[in-house]
Chain A
Amino acid sequence: MTGKSVKSALLAALLAAGASSAWAAESSDTKGFVVTHFAFASYDDEAADCPDGLNLSAKDIYLQSLPAGERDRLSKPEAQKELWTLLYAPGGNLGPGKRTHNRCADPADFESPPLRTVQGKIADGMDLDGGDPANTCAHQKFTSPDGKSGIDNQLWRAMGCIRGWRHGADIEKYAQDNIKAGEYTILLEIQGLKDPRNDAHVKVGIYSSTDQASVDAQGNVLPDASLQVHEDPKYRTVADGKVVDGVVMTKPVDLRLKYRSAGYVDTDFYIRGARLKLTLKPDGTASGMLGGYYDVETLYDGFIRQPQVVTSVLLGYSCPAVYAALNQFADGYPDSKTGKCTAISTAFRLDAIPAFVIHPKDEKKMAEAGSAK
């Protein structure tokens, strides 16, 4: 956004509604983006990660537990309805939003073979704790694909041997498709940017938006759209940051971003101690990583409980096993009483293109919004 268009926008606002309701426009030292790609950081080496193979789905586990004759009978196409009913039991068939006792809704009540987890040494992510054991639970570190040691990505360790969570698989595709489908929109805004190469202090807004990203006929998200930050201040976070050699880096901050998927998942990316590392590219786009500790209960509810048993079959996992693994590998934000970690380290790869981040007329100052959480 250029300085001249800022003046234009302000003039337009004055013309539209009088000076009393002039709205905040982007200024010349502000860059806005809409996120076009947002996916859990992963790594593509299945042989090294999962030497025992990928996890079995709830269906496979159940069938394997049966005598051979019964297993063969229930594997036949005409027995699928009966099989699914058994998989859902107890509780019967579940639709979105229904809360009935079953193995995904109440994983602690069910037993399951443990989850096969990542055995490899390499994974994408960030060093979140800097090797300081304070405020973490004991965990192993990864080395990043480009050789950096100390990478914290326990979510990958827990989930990386699930077929639907592998690099480029279902979870990544859902996240991508849901942006294009307008299910969720994430905006980034860098304020106070005097030098896009090096700047000792900037403010970085990380927002959800209820506006759908505009897409072209091929389904690609279009740049230069005006998209408004979420009305709920809970989904507007502002972090302090700096720019070093064209890379924006923020200090840790707790954030929530809205995530929805095809009408059956409505949850938050609730990331504690989140930090953004964003490379500003010469063509105006940006890409980078958002790392932090995902609140385990929020993660489980949004990505496992709400998608229900059917998703555990499609993506290849057992809900009780996932629940146990997430709690086992949680490495951040220990409970003050029990000492048990409540959040799990993770990271998201993201790409973003220019957009105009619109703030509603009645929005309080960004700093206030950030501290309102």
Chain B
Amino acid sequence: MIRSAFLVAVAILALTGCDPKEPISSGGPPEIRRLTEAQYRQTIADIFGDDITVAGRFEPDMRVSGLLAVGTGKVTVTPAGFEQYDSMAHGIARQVVDEKHRDKLVGCKPVAPNAPDDACATAFLRRIGLRLFRRPLDNDELKGDVEVADAAARTLGDFYAGLEYGLAGLLAAPEFLFREEQTEPDPDHPGQQRLTAYSMAARISFLLWDMSPDAELLAAAERGDLHNPKLLARQVDRLLASPRLEQGARAFFADMLGFDAFDSLAKDSLIYPKFSLKVANDAKEQTLRTLVDELIVRKGDYRDIFTSRKTFLTRTLGMLYKVPVQTRSGWEPHVFDPGDERAGLLSEISFLALHSHPGRSSATLRGKAIRELLLCEQVPMPPPNVNFAIVQDTNNPQFKTARERLTAHRTNPTCAGCHKMIDPIGLGLENFDGAGQYRATENGVPIDASGEIDGIAFKDAAGLGRAMHDDPAAVACLVADAYRYATGREIASGEKDYMAWLRDGFAEDGYKFPKLLRRIALSQDFYRISGPAGSSTVREAQR
């Protein structure tokens, strides 16, 4: 009896993705999130094609609670930023209606090329408006936009020039630039709100593909499929099976690992002559490639990212890793030997170089990064007026290794508390210098890379990787980050049980990352709206 009930539950989960064990939770508020540069570019490419150039400068993103994704709900557009968006909108629209693209992209021909054509303009703007706004334009929006196109066509004596203005209006609209989540009364739970099907589609698509929903997903939303668990699962599985899932996974991990910091990463070229902008770019790509391969292509166990010796290298990186790379230009797979010092994410140059100083390694920065990025813990800022002289002087004959310098630094009781929490972790990576290159000694003294993390002792970087692999906090951090990334907000107090359910499910699924994404995308909490009934729109919020 119990067995059959279990089998029924499993069957329901497999077919519909709806887990009857999902606890009732609070959900959260609808969010209004600005598109990231990548999302903007990927959406334009998807709708109009790769050959449409997007030229302009994007407003900087803001990292909130460790994620840019959360920050997208906290940022606005400055007047200067809006000018950029407007300029990009016209640049894109001009290309879409030019002679090279118009036949393919506009989809209809005007009766006369030198005069307005309501029917053609309406058909085009309705179709593209759906893709850009991620929902159908309402009558007023469509009418207003067609009027703009018509008026411009009359003035300029050119239908396509008019259409450019109409399209640019959509591209510069806040409804495109911001992911505006709309709600509606939940018929299954009177008095409560739920996301509209179109807003559900956007959440799914941005989570899995890091771009606006495609036409098929929007069509499913229009049909109401997304409120049907079985049909929702069909769409989610379609997106999960697409090669675009890699794009979504890259966006998530680049955010989680703080890879935007690569934009300002610099090393002292006299100390690290091999380190260059190319190395930095390749190091970032190496890690993303490795993660995608491990988690998406091979559908591996997330915990293995801390221990796996499989990666990808270019010749540029091969110089720093000191391994041969056969491929003259481009990437090739590489497997570090079981006895090699390199194992897992923490021993990749991206992590090691990003969390170091320009001219020296930093056990403190690395330990802090592990605590914050990979274990989701908050490390306090150092108190003001701290004397870093001992730590910074790598040539002090009295303190030849980082361990000796940090030990001396920790004699200051103000600093000791935090350093005790982070240094023993970071010291495990001291066999790698500030550029991520292996070294056995520092200033002629053999490096002791032993340490401990939350009571688990290790001898070296590989040992630290194994400790991270086995640390439940690392798994919990990924689950929390994935959910916060998906919703663009902090986890609500009413979602504690839900998060525990996600974590348990992740373990049951063998820590497979795509299954975690599927579980989130099919869960009811993901679409549940907390707070009083009512809807808000970008325009309302702006008022």
Q: Is the CB of B269 within 8 A of A5?
A: no
Chain A min CB distance to B1 (Å): 48
Cβ–Cβ < 8 Å partners of A4 in chain B: 336-340
Q: Is A25 an interface residue (CB 8 A)?
A: yes
Q: Mark B325-351, 1 if CB is under 8 A from A, else 0.
A: 110100011111111100000000000
Cβ–Cβ < 8 Å partners of A361 in chain B: 326
Cβ–Cβ < 8 Å partners of A3 in chain B: 337
Q: Is A16 an interface residue (CB 8 A)?
A: yes
Q: Mark A1-40, 1 if CB is under 8 A from B, else 0.
A: 1011101110111011000000101100000000000000
Chain A min CB distance to B324 (Å): 4
Q: Is A217 an interface residue (CB 8 A)?
A: yes
Q: Is B319 an interface residue (CB 8 A)?
A: yes
Cβ–Cβ < 8 Å partners of B310 in chain A: 15
> Which one of A142-150, A196-204, A224-232 is at the B interface?
A224-232
Q: Is A93 an interface residue (CB 8 A)?
A: no
Q: Is B323 an interface residue (CB 8 A)?
A: yes
Task: Given A218-B269, A225-B315, check contact A12 B337 (CB 8 Å).
Answer: no
Cβ–Cβ < 8 Å partners of B339 in chain A: 4
Q: Is the CB of A217 within 8 A of B334?
A: no
Q: Is the CB of A226 within 8 A of B332?
A: no
Q: Is B273 an interface residue (CB 8 A)?
A: yes
Q: Is B318 an interface residue (CB 8 A)?
A: yes
Of residues 280 through 326 on chain B, the ones whose CB sits less than 8 Å from some CB of chain A are 309-310, 313, 315-316, 318-320, 322-326
Q: Is A119 an interface residue (CB 8 A)?
A: no
Q: Is the CB of A16 within 8 A of B324?
A: no
Q: Is the CB of B324 within 8 A of A220?
A: no
Cβ–Cβ < 8 Å partners of B269 in chain A: 216-218
Q: Is B227 an interface residue (CB 8 A)?
A: no
Contact of A226 among B274, B324, B335, B340 (CB under 8 A): B324
Q: Is the CB of A216 within 8 A of B273?
A: yes
Q: Is A50 an interface residue (CB 8 A)?
A: no
Q: Mark B352-394, 1 if CB is under 8 A from A, else 0.
A: 0000000000000000000000000000000000000000000
CA distance A361 to B332 in the complex (A): 14
Q: Is the CB of B335 within 8 A of A8?
A: yes
Task: Given A4-B339, A8-B337, A214-B319, check contact A358 B324 (CB 8 Å).
Answer: yes
Q: Is A129 an interface residue (CB 8 A)?
A: no
Contact of B323 among A9, A217, A220 (CB under 8 A): A9
Chain A min CB distance to B338 (Å): 8
Cβ–Cβ < 8 Å partners of A224 in chain B: 274, 318-320, 322
Q: Is A63 an interface residue (CB 8 A)?
A: no
Please tell me the number of chain B residues within 8 Å of chain A, measured between CB atoms: 28
Contact of A5 among B274, B319, B323 (CB under 8 A): B323
Q: Is the CB of A226 within 8 A of B315?
A: yes
**Which residue of chain B is the closest to A216 with respect to CB atoms?**
B273
Chain A min CB distance to B342 (Å): 9
Chain B min CB distance to A325 (Å): 42
Q: Is the CB of B323 within 8 A of A356?
A: yes
Q: Is A61 an interface residue (CB 8 A)?
A: no
Task: Given A5-B340, A218-B273, check contact A11 B318 (CB 8 Å).
Answer: no
Q: Is A171 an interface residue (CB 8 A)?
A: no
Q: Mark A323-362, 1 if CB is under 8 A from B, else 0.
A: 0000000000000000000000000000000001010010
Q: Is A94 an interface residue (CB 8 A)?
A: no
B320, B323, B332, B339: most-surrounded residue (chain A CB, <10 A): B323
Q: Is A211 an interface residue (CB 8 A)?
A: yes
Task: Given A26-B324, A211-B328, check contact A226 B337 (CB 8 Å).
Answer: no
Contact of A9 among B276, B309, B324 (CB under 8 A): B324
Q: Is the CB of B318 within 8 A of A12?
A: no
Cβ–Cβ < 8 Å partners of B270 in chain A: 218
Q: Is the CB of B273 within 8 A of A5?
A: no
Q: Is the CB of A12 within 8 A of B274?
A: no
**Which residue of chain B is the closest to A7 with respect to CB atoms?**
B337
Task: Given A216-B274, A226-B325, check contact A16 B333 (CB 8 Å).
Answer: yes
Q: Is the CB of B340 within 8 A of A222?
A: no
**Which residue of chain B is the closest to A32 with respect to CB atoms?**
B324
CA distance A223 to B321 in the complex (A): 11
Cβ–Cβ < 8 Å partners of A356 in chain B: 318, 323-325
CA distance A217 to B275 in the complex (A): 9
Chain B min CB distance to A18 (Å): 12
Q: Is the CB of B332 within 8 A of A12?
A: yes
Q: Is the CB of B273 within 8 A of A358?
A: no
CA distance A223 to B338 in the complex (A): 25
A7, A12, A222: most-surrounded residue (chain B CB, <10 A): A12
Q: Is the CB of B324 within 8 A of A5?
A: yes
Cβ–Cβ < 8 Å partners of A214 in chain B: 274, 316, 319
Chain A min CB distance to B119 (Å): 55
Q: Is the CB of B334 within 8 A of A8?
A: yes
Cβ–Cβ < 8 Å partners of B332 in chain A: 12-13, 16
Q: Is the CB of B333 within 8 A of A15?
A: yes
Cβ–Cβ < 8 Å partners of A15 in chain B: 310, 333, 335
Q: Is the CB of A228 within 8 A of B328?
A: yes
Q: Is the CB of A8 within 8 A of B318?
A: no
Q: Is the CB of A9 within 8 A of B334?
A: yes
Q: Is the CB of A222 within 8 A of B318?
A: no
CA distance A223 to B273 in the complex (A): 10
Identify the 8 closest CB pairs spanning chains A and B, nearest first: A4-B337, A216-B273, A356-B324, A11-B335, A217-B269, A12-B334, A15-B333, A226-B325
5 contacts between A and B (CB under 8 A): A9-B334, A13-B332, A217-B269, A358-B326, A361-B326
- Chain A residues in contact with chain B, CB under 8 A? 1, 3-5, 7-9, 11-13, 15-16, 23, 25-26, 211, 214, 216-218, 220, 222-226, 228, 356, 358, 361
Beyond the given A16-B326, A214-B316, A356-B324, please list 4 additional residue pairs across the A-B interface where CB-CB is below 8 A: A7-B337, A9-B323, A9-B334, A224-B319
